[in-house]
Structure 1
Amino acid sequence: MDKEKIIQSITDSKESKVKIAVADIDGVLRGKYIHKHKFLDSLDKTIGLCDVIFGWDSGDVCYDNSEVTGWHSGYPDAKAKIDITTFRQIPWEGSTPFFLADFSQDKKYAESTCPRSLLKRVNEECESMGFKAMFAQEFEWFNFKGKPDEMPQSGFQQPEPVTPGMFGYSVLRTSLNQAYCNDIFEMMEAFNVPLEGIHTETGPGVYEAAILYDDVISAADKAVLFKSGVREIAYRHNMMASFMAKWNIHLPGSGGHIHQSLWDKKGETNLFFDGNGSNGMSEIMEHYIAGQLACLPDILPMFAPTVNSYKRISHGDWAPSTVTWGIDNRTTAVRVIPLNKTNTRIESRVPGADTNPYLAITAALASGLYGIKHQLKLSIPQSVGNAYQDKNREELPDSLLKATEKMTTSKIAKELFGDAFVNHFTKTREWEWRQFMNQVTDWELKRYFEII
């Protein structure tokens, strides 16, 4: 629908409210309902949202190290711009109109804190280089019986998965919760987040869904909305959906792999494919892969943003911990899928399901473009076989602390994203690490309480 038809649809609707949302630095949607008259009045203006959404963590605890906002600034309003092209209706809320917004017109937040604005800036560079970026993110996540008020009461101890056993690609297990699975597929379609497929993964209560590919901004929007939407749909089935990277040390982690390719400006020619190239790869594709591999250690927190992320990486369970690439090899950091002129692409396998899709997709695109701009050669040998056992490759930082320290001083990160963003983002990751270090865990109590 074009702008005029959307405005007419909202004007004529019996619904009096519209829902708007922005993504914070953790990829959590923050938003509110507004009257449709306020929405219509805001379309050619901006709308104020308290900038505390960029001044606190995922638990609403205010940062003590943020320069952008804080008690020192009084938490003023940031000016959000509603993106009318993101219009969709929420099928599980009676078709309430919904729109995403960002802070791309508020320079202070666009440069330092707003994930969607950062992606838009990198995509502008991509387009100026003559490329159209096509992306899709896929997610694995675990589903548990119970409601949000029940989990904290139990101390998150021994949550019960909705299905038992290790049963990947099971046609049997999806039938056990068929109504839930059907709702995800059909309601996401109605929400303009169409899925390519959904199936069980190996592990109790775990599903995987792949979102249909789209231009890079729309792909990131859909990934963010998918995570939030699945949680909301799960509530309606008395379930909780968890996108933690590693909720149980004895089970596989949850990935958030990113599929990507570059096309010509018209979107007609896949520039990653070259029938005469090595393994069907074009020179552009090789530069792109080389850029991702070169930048990966310096920008890892954008792919692994939480303390828990690093419990998934480094354990050899479908999550790479080294700088590697390979042809259709799921043990490498970059999986090259050289199929044909339509489907040739790469898959970044480092990101977990806990990523902020805007930041993970931005990092993937920016680092690939870095390789093209600097004409980097794909000099790292291809990994054949089990890359987890190849200890001769560069290892990624194995904790959020180490990864954040590396990104804080990285010239590459600042070239890709700018000083303002790197400064703010790494401070939020430092804060995340400190919150973890301030806790006494069950492991410590069991290990030290009596015997030490």
Structure 2
Amino acid sequence: MNDLLHDLRQKNSSLVNGVHRNLEKSDVRAIAISFIDNSGIARAKAIPFQRLDTVLSKGLLISPVLDTHMVNDVPAPNAYSKEHEILLFPDIESLSLVEGDPGWAWVAGSRFNFDGSAYELCHRNIAGRLQGELSKIGLVARISFEVEWSVEPITSKASKEGKDTPNVLEGSSFGLARLVDVGAYCLEILEDLEAAGVGVNEIFPGFDSGQFKVSTDSYDIVRAGDVASLVRHVIRIASRHHDLRASFSPTVSIDGPYNCGQVRFVFQSSGKNLFGAGSEFAGLTPEGEAIFRELISELNALVAIGAPSYGSYLRFAKEQRSKSKRVAGLINPSSSISLVPANEISGEVGAFGRIGVFDQSASPYLVGASMAAVATAAIEKLRSIGSDTSGTLVDLGEFEDSPSFPTSVDQAVEALKGSQVLMDAFGQVFIETFASLRVAESNYLQGIGDLDATAAVRYRY
């Protein structure tokens, strides 16, 4: 048994009595244990409440083959997989009651080999390990995901029950009228997220018809991954209550809507915001500038993690983002990566970075893990060779070393395989397995045509 599993079991043991009381008080009878696989799908096993203690001690058997499955559940050709089953352990610190689903609780799970050693393809454990590496050099990452989704009426159910389905498919971008039409729906989401312990900052209609967004508080990268998964779970349940079906796919149909998964991030050291407490460009500290430079340098490889699906590039083509040479910007939401600097109103705590090209076909754990790896590499490089004064970030919008943006999964995957930073952080087994699956999946979806491809994955993520 490795330290990671030992620590998880010890933590669970210290929390289990309080969890028992809360679950009994709330009449919880079943618990869904969830993880995210290499195709970006949230998988789960459910247990009766009475089995919780046994599962906390021994885990659940689960097939590692899921990590070789493409989004359509067909195994990718020649994909690596363990020969034997692995173990799924819940982390009950993440356990949340879901008000909209009485009798149920949700909890994030981590996976281990049968002998208790680390499973190379467990996204949550990878995120925890790289979060630990960041901590060793004195840094803390705080990130949040903006969850964007699109809904359509479940007309057959609404018609059968004689209900009028809210006309959520009409109205203006960010329109108050649209918010009025679905006020009860949005309120249920807010209340259920609050009850689940998730801090909500905003909820509002998006640009496209039937589209909505919710942004949450920032968390460490493991908890942020848990929250992103939980938020989608809550939205699906609330949508069903209002005769709606939610899609988180980057390309819901070939003519839209298109859903993003913007990530906001801050790196701190000794309580200081590295993006707002300095005297460099726009309030960056030398460490903050080094991190931003490295993120821009590694952007194409990061896109393979954060926008990894065929639908991601259909969205890019429609938005013409891939044709833009401007990948970085200052307070520019249309930029691939941007900096929102400190100002007189918010002070240094209000500064943050933002990557706008990611979407929800990605694993949020891998997104956070990859950003932590890049930040760690940036600080180690800065401390070993000192600050690079040859290319001060005078204008992020015209950053001279901006790479051309990937136009396909294949191009992004090649950048990922060529990134020594991410290869060192994730390991060769993970990179090769992830890359081969995503390329095979993209080739399959491209082969069936864009119309069928978007329909095939519309409700998978």
Cα distance in 1 for partners of 2:452, 2:110 equals 41
Partner of 2:153: 145
1:434 maps to amino acid: N
The structure that is helix-richer by fraction is 2
C-alpha displacement at 1:394, in angstroms? 2.1
Instruction: Determine which of 10, 14, 19 is the counterpart of 1:6.
Output: 19
The answer to whether residue 287 in structure 2 is matched with residue 279 in structure 1 is no
Matches within 5 A, 1:342-421: 342-375=349-382, 377=388, 379=391, 393-421=402-430
Structure 2 contact 249–361 (Cα < 8 Å) conserved: yes
The answer to whether residue 140 in structure 2 is matched with residue 132 in structure 1 is yes
Distance 1:319 1:433, change over 3 A: closer
Distance 1:415 1:107, change over 3 A: farther
C-alpha displacement at 1:435, in angstroms? 1.3
C-alpha displacement at 1:11, in angstroms? 5.9
Distance 1:412 1:147, change over 3 A: farther
User: Identity percentage over the alignment?
Assistant: 20
SS, match of residue 358 in structure 2: coil
Which segments of 5 or more consecutive residues in structure 1 lack a partner in the other structure? 151-159, 445-452
C-alpha displacement at 1:287, in angstroms? 0.8
C-alpha displacement at 1:416, in angstroms? 2.8
1:289-311 deviation line (CA, Å, top 9, x unaligned) = 11111111223211111111012
Instruction: Determine which of 332, 337, 358 is the counterpart of 2:335.
Output: 332
Instruction: Determine which of 110, 124, 127 is the counterpart of 1:116.
Output: 124
Instruction: Determine which of 156, 168, 177 is the counterpart of 1:162.
Output: 168
C-alpha displacement at 1:312, in angstroms? 2.0
Structure 1 contact 140–243 (Cα < 8 Å) conserved: yes
Matches within 5 A, 1:210-249: 210-249=215-254
Distance 1:341 1:299, change over 3 A: closer
Cα distance in 2 for partners of 1:254, 1:350 equals 10
Cα distance in 1 for partners of 2:272, 2:194 equals 27
1:65 maps to amino acid: N
Partner of 2:199: 194
SS, match of residue 272 in structure 1: coil
The answer to whether residue 177 in structure 2 is matched with residue 172 in structure 1 is yes
Give the aligned length: 424
1:332 maps to amino acid: S
1:67 maps to amino acid: Y
Distance 1:130 1:349, change over 3 A: same
Structure 1 contact 145–240 (Cα < 8 Å) conserved: yes
Distance 1:275 1:55, change over 3 A: closer
Cα distance in 2 for partners of 1:28, 1:407 equals 21
C-alpha displacement at 1:242, in angstroms? 1.4
Cα distance in 2 for partners of 1:336, 1:352 equals 19
Cα distance in 2 for partners of 1:410, 1:119 equals 18
Cα distance in 2 for partners of 1:427, 1:148 equals 40
Instruction: Determine which of 290, 294, 297 is the counterpart of 1:291.
Output: 294
CA-based RMSD: 3.1
The answer to whether residue 307 in structure 2 is matched with residue 304 in structure 1 is yes
Structure 1 contact 27–358 (Cα < 8 Å) conserved: no
Structure 1 contact 312–319 (Cα < 8 Å) conserved: no
C-alpha displacement at 1:197, in angstroms? 0.5
C-alpha displacement at 1:374, in angstroms? 1.6
The answer to whether residue 49 in structure 2 is matched with residue 36 in structure 1 is yes
TM-score by length of structure 1 reads 0.84
Partner of 1:447: none
Which segments of 5 or more consecutive residues in structure 2 lack a partner in the other structure? 1-13, 159-165, 454-461
1:164 maps to amino acid: E
SS, match of residue 20 in structure 1: strand
Q: Which moved more, 1:391-400 or 1:186-195?
A: 391-400
Cα distance in 2 for partners of 1:308, 1:363 equals 21
Matches within 5 A, 1:34-113: 34-69=47-82, 73=83, 76-103=84-111, 110-113=118-121
Cα distance in 1 for partners of 2:373, 2:226 equals 17
C-alpha displacement at 1:107, in angstroms? 8.2
SS, match of residue 299 in structure 1: helix
